[in-house]
Every structure is written in C-alpha cells, then in structure tokens.
Amino acid sequence: METIQFNLPQDRIPRVWYNILPDLPKPLAPALHPGTLKPIGPDDLAPLFPMSLILQEVSMEREIEIPEAVRQIYAQWRPSPLFRARRLEKALDTPARIYYKNEGVSPAGSHKLNTAVAQAYYNKQEGTTHLSTETGAGQWGSALAMASAFFGLECRVFMVRVSYDQKPYRRALMEAFGASVTASPSNQTESGRAILAAHPDSNGSLGIAISEAVEIAAKDPNTKYSLGSVLNHVLLHQTVIGQEAIEQMALAGDDPDVIIACTGGGSNFAGLVMPYLGRKLKGQSKARIVAVEPAACPSLTKGRFTYDFGDTGHLTPLVKMHTLGSSFVPPGIHAGGLRYHGMAPLVSHVMDLGLVEATTVQQLDAFAAGIRFARAEGIVPAPEANHAIAEAIKEALRAKAEGKPRTILINLSGHGHFDMQSYIDYQAGKLQNYDYPEEEIAMALAGLPVVE
Ligand SMILES: Cc1ncc(COP(=O)(O)O)c(C=O)c1O
C-alpha cells in the first residue's frame, strides 16, 4: 500500500506556541491609540481582552507554553492529520507531490478552534463570564461557541448578514453549543444602527460585525471581546499547525518547496507558515510561501500598507496592515471568512519584508478547484480553503508543464459541510466572479486615517 497519512500520536501535540516576533529582521509597527496616535499600552486594551492575551500580543518570548488544560482539549482532534493527496496528483497527472494538513477534522470544522480554546481558557482564568465576537463564515463563531461551552462562558455572536442568510445550519450549530447569534448589522448596537440607517439592505461585513461585538464588550464589564483572526495572539495560537506539519513532513521524508494557504485575516496562513518562516530565516528551509486571497477582496495584493482601523465603526486601535479601507464592504462572495478589508499586521509585515508572496483567485475558479479536490480526495473543503487548493492545483500543473517535480504543502483550513448551499449554487451556475471593485476601494482608501 502507498502511505497517504503521516500522523503523530497524542503526546506530540506541541507544548509551546511559536512566536516569530523575536526572529524577525525588523520589528512590527506598534498599534496606535486612535485619539492620541501614540502607541497603545496594555491598559488601553484591558476593557476588551484578558491581560494574559494582551501580554501575548506584545510578547518577545520565542516559545510560549501551552497550558495543560488547553492541550487536553486540543487532544479532541490534534495532532491533525497530514495527507499526501495521491489521488489528486494522479487526477492532475502531475509530477508534483501534494500534501494537505487537514484542520477540518476539528469538531467545529476548522482551524479556528485552535485559538478559540486558548482564548476561552484565558478569559475563564481571569474571571470573564461573557464573550462577544463576530463571525463571517460561521466557522469562527462555531469554534468560540464550542470553546465557551467547554469553559462555561456565555457567548454572543454577531454573524455577518449574508452568511446568516446563506448558512442557517452554522447558526444552528452555534446555538447547539449554547451561543446566541444575531445577524449583523443589527439594531442592537449603535454601530449596527448607524450602518442600517445608511444602508438598510446591508450584506454586512466582518468589519461591521467586529464593531458590534467590540461595542458590546466595551459597554459591559463582564463581557470581553474575542477575535478570530488578525491579532498576534490569535496567529500565535495557530502555530500548532505548522509545528505539527514540520514533524509530519519529516515522517513523509519530504520537505515543502511551496507552502500555500488562504488569507482572510491571516490566521490559518500564519499558523502553517510561521514555523516554516522561522526556519527559513535560519537558512533551514527554502520554501516559497504563498498567501491566496479572493479577487473580490484583495487586501495583500491591491491594498495599501498603512495604518487603518480594524473595524468599520472605528472602535478599534489603528494597526499597520495591508488594507482596502475600513469602509469597504466586499462583494457577497461565499468565502465569508475572506471578506475582511484588512490583513493581520504580522502577515502584512512579512509580506512587506518580501518574505512571503500573495496572489488572488476568482470565486468560480475556487469552487472548480474545490469540486476537483472533493472528487479526488473525498473531502468537500470550506469555500475559503478552496482558494488555497486552486493555487496548489495551478502550481501542480506548472510542475507538469515544466516537467519538474516539486513538493506542495496546503493548509486545508476547514471542511465545507455547512457550506453546501454555495456548492448547490455553484453547480447550478448561479455564482459569479467579481472584478476587483476599483472605484469602491479607491473611495474607501480616500477615507484612511492620516497617521504618517
Ligand atoms: C475555513 C476557513 N478558512 C480560512 C478562513 C480565513 O480566516 P484566516 O485568514 O484568519 O485563516 C476562515 C475564516 O472564517 C475559515 O472559516
């Protein structure tokens, strides 16, 4: 038999998260207070986050110990499997070797549970009783709902309107875990009411839902806010993916030439690639690292690298990132988790340093790739992950055209079992591509805060 799974036993769940900040050739730009434009300190963030997460946000420790209680919950699905996609390779008739790290095996359906468990744990430790959050695809909301149930926290989720309508079963899953779910924009917050007054039919966006969730937390001392991507501590928690992948690729006796992941806020990408990038900076890996974003929301490839708000209602600090402007509401593509106007400051920074590359994929190409993958490998990927798969297939076909083998590693960030409506619509020919909405983005960029 040909080996297709390269798996680790439970005791190989990583003991630390890998923090790349001390290994970077240039430090990250600090987050700024939107009023004073001075770097923010831990106290500025204290109304929103527990102190242990705030300290992780700025930590310069290379390794941060994973609490035993978090590792114990990770054991419900970690170490996640690494597959060699031999059937996909055959279907493509490529000399490339394709591997995928399957984060879709988490009980909530994606990589998001890696940070949800950690965030719920630290909040519980510090006496938080309620969490508020946003969700785009519904994957993050499901993950935080499950983690909240495990730690006895109340969880309130603002779900982007277009996803709320597209994915009723995601909402049901969050509710099954005990969370309460509100479509965003809603009339329950000032930020939501302001958007609805201007755009009564708004599809919503991650930027708007973040404003609503932040507002709820800022106004209630018992509620903290929890973010599913973008921030350093969120990306940090995801590094269990890359650390496991490094060991698993060694089991396979292989080493990636190209590493590919999709980017919405940057967390599954960072989770897989930062441990590899750490090695690359030490000369131990030559892998090309590729971020894949939707053509409809191309922050890394078309955005400006500058200070902007993380949310549409301008309640968050200013962070330096690739942004399309915080008022930009991306078209209603089905990869809801990729509809974010900005990008993680850490991912933006390594992109600016030329350490990683970025490219875009159109919606129809992403779904075509997802179907191809499903027919070969038997897993229906989340629409977000389809973007990574589409780029991996392109790379494998390039290998074929050049007659040169190469090793490709993909992050399969989640399964698509709650996204079947989008597959129904795709198969019925109802989905469309969206061109880069140049005029809208120009308008949103014109409204960027003046900092530098
Ligand atoms: C399955 C899946 N992949 C990827 C993403 C994109 O987020 P990030 O860039 O933080 O990994 C999401 C976001 O919701 C998601 O649900």
Give me the sign of the Cα torsion angle 118, 124, 126, 129.
Answer: positive
Assess whether pLDDT exceeds 90 at residue 451: no
Distance CA 187, CA 359 (A): 37
Those residues whose C-beta lies under 8 Å from the C-beta of residue 107, and which sit 6 or more positions away, are: 76, 77, 113, 146
Mean per-residue pLDDT for 173-200? 97
Query: Is residue 263 within 8 Å of 343, Cβ to Cβ?
Result: yes
For the segment 218-269, what is each residue's pLDDT rounded down to a tens digit?
999 999 999 999 999 999 999 999 999 999 999 999 999 999 999 999 999 9
Length of the chain in terms of residues written: 452
Calculated CA dihedral for residues 21, 26, 27, 29, nearest 10 degrees: -130
Q: How far, in Å, is the centroid of ligand 1 from the Cα of 273? A: 15
| 420-445 pLDDT, tens digit each | 999 999 999 999 999 888 898 999 99
Q: What is the pLDDT of residue 452?
A: 65
Give the whole-angstrom CA distance, residue 322 versus residue 386: 22
Read off the tokens for 329.
């509401």
Share of the chain above pLDDT 70, in %: 100
Residue-by-residue DSSP string for 228-276: SSSSHHHHHHTTHHHHHHHHHHHHTT---SEEEEE-SSSHHHHHHHHHH
Q: Are 148 and 126 in contact (CB under 8 A)?
A: no
Pairwise CA distance, residues 328 & 408, whole Å? 33
**In the structure, what pLDDT confidence band is assigned to residue 328 with cuts at 50, 70 and 90?**
very high
Question: Ligand 1: distance of its center to the CA of 2 in Å?
Answer: 31
If DSSP codes are grouped into helix, strand and coil, which group holds residue 30? coil
Dihedral (CA of 377, 381, 383, 387) sign: negative
pLDDT at 400 over 70: yes
- Sheet-wide strand order for 154-160: 180-184, 154-160, 130-135, 223-225
Q: How far apart are CA 319 and CA 34, in angstroms?
A: 10
> Of 267, 272, 290, 340, which is best to mutate to test ligand 1, by the most ligand atoms within 8 angstroms of its C-beta?
267
Residue 333 pLDDT more than 70? Answer: yes
- Say if residue 303's pLDDT is above 90: yes
Q: How far apart are CA 81 and CA 69, in angstroms?
A: 22
- The band of 137, judged by pLDDT with boundaries at 50, 70 and 90, is confident
Atom of ligand 1 at shortest range from CA of 136: 14
Half-sphere exposure of 175 (CA within 13 A, CB side): 10
Q: For residue 166, what pLDDT band results from cuts at 50, 70 and 90? A: confident
CB of residue 238 inside a 6 A radius of ligand 1: no
- Checking if the pLDDT of 346 tops 90, the result is yes
Rounded Cα distance between 76 and 143, Å, is 13
172 phi/psi in degrees, rounded to 5: -60, -35
Q: Is the CB of 414 within 6 Å of ligand 1?
A: yes
CB-ligand 1 contact for 262 (6 Å cutoff): yes
Residue 194 scores a pLDDT above 80: yes
User: Is the CA virtual torsion 209, 215, 220, 222 positive or negative?
Assistant: positive
pLDDT value of residue 98: 99
pLDDT digits (tens, 9 = 90+) for 168-178: 999 999 999 99
